[in-house]
Structure 1
């Protein structure tokens, strides 16, 4: 800034790469950047020193499949060390490094994942982080010494804790919820002791949820082993006044894609609550390929989207069929975005198990989707082979047997509307009947109260129609 001269960082001759993160160290003359290969299998972090622009490699990560990016690079104030997160042992854990890139020690370990670093108290020598040490269904606050030692759990209430520390680190705000408790906000000291409520949000007679408590349904959480010994977690809603002697229709409400998790003990996503109140059993399963269970749980989708996820959802229906109150001839499936893709793939590939489906904003052709996301899992579309073809839906369309409704926002700039119109054309050319509801001007989230009400009623009415459910006017 003094001489107003611009100096470019030499990133090498190969221009086919990503620059996902750039961050200053605590030394104002030293900048770091992370270089990621086009195939996302290699990441290198380098330090650049001003004004010489000399570069030094601090660390590198490699994977046979892909590397998950994160924001858990933390430079310590002593200018001698930094904290880094890595999945090199199969689970996301924290590692301490010397500022020159020499590894010092691994701070966390085990078959569970760290969510993110929340604060580092250098004076006390403590790292505070959120993670899934106790259960993958909840996020808790933990601490671990920088010098190494035992991990200590600081939050006590079962549920989901979203933590924000003050700048000095002498207290933190906890945004907490469960699947049955709307969000509460409280102030705590670093030991976890609550100082005061900032928003207790108690569900008393003055709360907007209170009039609906008599209809509120608390879900069940559980897990089972698949035929190849994978443990899958699920959430299950049963209708109010559930009668085990009655045969109930089922909605499999899914997402199924990477980088996401749907089965958590946290507030939100009330579609399941709504459909259970309409008399449906609603089942959600996190299949292999989903997040927060470690790399071995995620990686089966590599170059194989639409395979293991579908197989695991079939395992979920087989599990449901062990209960006498499940009607196997009235099992529907619904999801949006990747869940829309999954809805179509399950309907096309497994009509024996999925009898009707509603697909929202589905990806149908992976060559139309975001390249950084898609190439992470399917590779470069220019490479030889049929990975993209086999992972897209079109080759399986002739397997459709049951009624399928597809809805899409016509202004969707995430999953382009063309994904649906390409499938419309194929189904029409095949003389295959299907249902459509397109939303003019709506994007990927279908925002707006009237749109949301229309969409929910449409989904319910569709399943009611095809599962023979009649309601009073």
Structure 2
């Protein structure tokens, strides 16, 4: 598509190509919540295209050629923090919050293409790469009207050493109702995280929540603003924290004060997938039934301090890892799931009780390639560490009929960082082709998930 944007009206069966003022590609396009506008980045500047009037407008300026980008996330945000976006539509489609990233303080790093037959610019590329211990990019957060006009800069500057030691990284940005803008900022050692609330007219800020952990704080996407029409906690939000050693959901009021826990226990909440404020239910995925599986659950949104927390109710069926998508009416959900012994399936269910509505897709097992590869699910084992913690491992055993009895040469696969789980009851472990290859060569592979205690 050559970096161009095409818009199709399904009722008219016609295509509309976004007008191009240059040969530069369109990057990261997003339709506004009301469906009338399309925002995108071109030449490091933020633009908006009106889908009803077919007019494009540039909202920012001064970036191109000055080591600055507007509306694009920087390398560390994308690679290490899972923040892919550099701009965000307000809920009413009237404003766009965006990042200004300044790379001028980062020395360029040249990468040579050793296999190129030619020399010169085609055989090399330069990047502003932030090496460990060196300076990071400087990031500002601005807000501009979707129709254009002056930019209001929020009281925030990440990456400025000595000025904001606890605000090295802009980790998350989220709009709340009534056009309240929030941002999550984190220090360089990942031991301090703050949620800031901004007045978009003045840029003034207020800290509404702060978490401190001397070891590590895992980033997540569980911050969920509540609707402004909620009469019990208007302007409140759902937050998740690992302050008990396990990630759980908590209800906070508009000032950031914790009202109480929504979930508890020795298991982990993975992700908030939907909230029905009218019925007072929050839907989330988690590991309540097994640390090797992930299921959809529902829990009471508004905790009752006078009574014990009820156990969340499970809505998905069958073993393995479940990824779900809820409809906007909070009536149904689509479940994409698999396990070590079963290929991915897609089904639709009722959100009220999890009952099956209709199967959507199932991969047949009789695929010639599967038979040729002779894939064998690994054996899941448990190992107790010195402090009594249970660690889970996956063993890919060679065929004893071909390679004889054990012991075998052994390869150990681990991941030493936080928030990554290698071993689970999921098809991805069965189709780990590297592990399966070594197994087919007579080598035992032991994959283990380490526990990073915080």
SS of residue paired to 1:71:
coil
Matches of 2:375 and 2:214, distance apart in 1: 46
**1:94 to partner: Cα distance:** 0.4
- In structure 2, do the counterparts of structure 1 residues 138 and 209 end up closer, same or farther at CA, with 3 Å as the change threshold? farther
SS of residue paired to 2:438:
helix
**1:262 to partner: Cα distance:** 1.2
Equivalent residue, structure 2, for 1:240 = 399
The within-5 A match list for 1:378-397 is none
Contact 1:217 1:239 in 2 (8 A): no
Matches of 2:404 and 2:362, distance apart in 1: 40
Matches of 2:387 and 2:251, distance apart in 1: 37
Equivalent residue, structure 2, for 1:194 = 356
Higher relative contact order, chain-length normalized (CA < 8 Å, sep 6+)? 1
SS of residue paired to 1:183:
strand
Matches of 2:386 and 2:175, distance apart in 1: 49
User: What do the CA deviations read for 1:119-162 (whole angstroms, capped 9, x no partner)?
Assistant: 11112111111111122111111110112332112222110111
1:8 aligns with 2:157: no
Higher-strand-fraction structure: 2
Equivalent residue, structure 2, for 1:225 = 384
User: What do the CA deviations read for 1:197-220 (whole angstroms, capped 9, x no partner)?
Assistant: 2211132x4x3455348x342322
SS of residue paired to 1:46:
strand
Matches of 1:135 and 1:22, distance apart in 2: 32
The within-5 A match list for 1:10-49 is 10-11=155-156, 14-16=163-165, 17-28=168-179, 30-49=180-199
- In structure 2, do the counterparts of structure 1 residues 240 and 36 end up closer, same or farther at CA, with 3 Å as the change threshold? same
Matches of 1:185 and 1:3, distance apart in 2: 43
Aligned residues: 287
Contact 2:413 2:445 in 1 (8 A): no
Matches of 2:258 and 2:385, distance apart in 1: 39
Matches of 1:140 and 1:106, distance apart in 2: 20
Matches of 1:286 and 1:5, distance apart in 2: 50
Runs of 5+ consecutive residues of structure 1 not aligned to the other structure: 290-295, 300-473
**1:3 to partner: Cα distance:** 8.1
Contact 2:403 2:442 in 1 (8 A): no
2:255 aligned to 83, 90, 100, which one? Answer: 100
Contact 1:253 1:272 in 2 (8 A): no
Matches of 1:257 and 1:168, distance apart in 2: 41
The within-5 A match list for 1:447-458 is none
SS of residue paired to 2:409:
strand
**Structure 1, 279-288 or 10-19: larger mean CA deviation:** 10-19
- In structure 2, do the counterparts of structure 1 residues 14 and 168 end up closer, same or farther at CA, with 3 Å as the change threshold? farther
**1:164 to partner: Cα distance:** 1.7
Contact 2:154 2:200 in 1 (8 A): no
The within-5 A match list for 1:235-384 is 235-240=394-399, 246-258=405-417, 259-268=419-428, 269-289=432-452, 296=453, 299=454
**1:114 to partner: Cα distance:** 0.8
Matches of 1:193 and 1:84, distance apart in 2: 29
User: What do the CA deviations read for 1:297-318 (whole angstroms, capped 9, x no partner)?
Assistant: xx4xxxxxxxxxxxxxxxxxxx
- The two structures have a TM-score, normalised by structure 2, of 0.59
SS of residue paired to 2:156:
coil
Runs of 5+ consecutive residues of structure 2 not aligned to the other structure: 1-144, 304-309
- In structure 2, do the counterparts of structure 1 residues 3 and 182 end up closer, same or farther at CA, with 3 Å as the change threshold? closer
- In structure 2, do the counterparts of structure 1 residues 132 and 7 end up closer, same or farther at CA, with 3 Å as the change threshold? same
Matches of 1:69 and 1:41, distance apart in 2: 11
**1:187 to partner: Cα distance:** 1.4
Matches of 2:274 and 2:355, distance apart in 1: 17
- The two structures have a TM-score, normalised by structure 1, of 0.56
User: What do the CA deviations read for 1:320-346 (whole angstroms, capped 9, x no partner)?
Assistant: xxxxxxxxxxxxxxxxxxxxxxxxxxx
**1:32 to partner: Cα distance:** 0.9
Higher-helix-fraction structure: 1
User: What do the CA deviations read for 1:262-288 (whole angstroms, capped 9, x no partner)?
Assistant: 111111223223332333332212223
Matches of 1:232 and 1:243, distance apart in 2: 30
Contact 1:162 1:174 in 2 (8 A): yes
1:211 aligns with 2:371: yes
- In structure 2, do the counterparts of structure 1 residues 3 and 141 end up closer, same or farther at CA, with 3 Å as the change threshold? closer
